[in-house]
Amino acid sequence: MYLQPAAARLYNSSMSGVSKRPMPELPKGEYGPKMKALPNDRWRVFVLTLMEQSKRNQFAAYKAAGYKVEGNEGGARENAYKMAHDPRVLEALHEEALKTLKTLVPMSLQAIERIIGSDDAKNSDVLTGAKMVFDRAGLHGVAETRVVHELADDTEMLAEIRMLAARNGVPLASLLGGRLSKQIEGEFVDVTPKDE
């Protein structure tokens, strides 16, 4: 298991649930605020181990962090689950994931350059790569959204419009157009409370 460049050391602790097992020494000052906010180095090792796994195994990360599992495997599994879902761990995982993604930017750019510049690439792949570059460079495609509000089936809104039009002396046809104004013409009763 690879956990950042660090030498293993024996971590002696009197904490319950912690065994004396090798744990990588974590370099100081290389972590963001979320990783630094974790309670101790064991939590940081737990996060880094989860980040290195190709298949999620919270129990293995818990063991790698140096927590005691012998004699109480069920309790250790429960603790591993709780630790993995602790908001502080989730934030630290997110922070580390973003850091890892940023290190992949140069490789990703080279991959896009190879695809776009390849004579053997399919046109659809070249076009997809070009769109990705445009989007990330701020040259987004223009999108048009058309929103249509239909009043014909909204009887409450039509009644309110009719009442307001009559109260203010505005012809319905000038507010709604001829088609809708014919639908709602008729008698109405003003139920607005009178100021006393």
Q: Are 185 and 175 spatial neighbours (Cβ–Cβ below 8 Å)? A: no
Where residue 10 falls among pLDDT bands split at 50, 70, 90? very low
Q: Is the pLDDT of residue 137 over 90?
A: no
Between strands 8-10 and 22-24, the pairing is antiparallel
Half-sphere exposure of 42 (CA within 13 A, CB side): 21
The pLDDT value given to residue 51 = 92
- Tell me the per-residue pLDDT of 29-88, one tens digit each, with 9 for 90 and over: 578 999 999 999 999 999 999 999 999 999 999 999 989 888 889 999 999 999 999 999
CA distance 35 to 52: 15
Q: Are 34 and 91 spatial neighbours (Cβ–Cβ below 8 Å)? A: yes
- In Å, how far are 5, 175, 178, 183, 194 from 163, measured between CA atoms? 75, 12, 17, 14, 15
How do the domains of the chain map onto residue ranges?
8-103, 105-136, 147-191
Mean pLDDT of 94-109: 90
Task: Give the global pTM.
Answer: 0.55
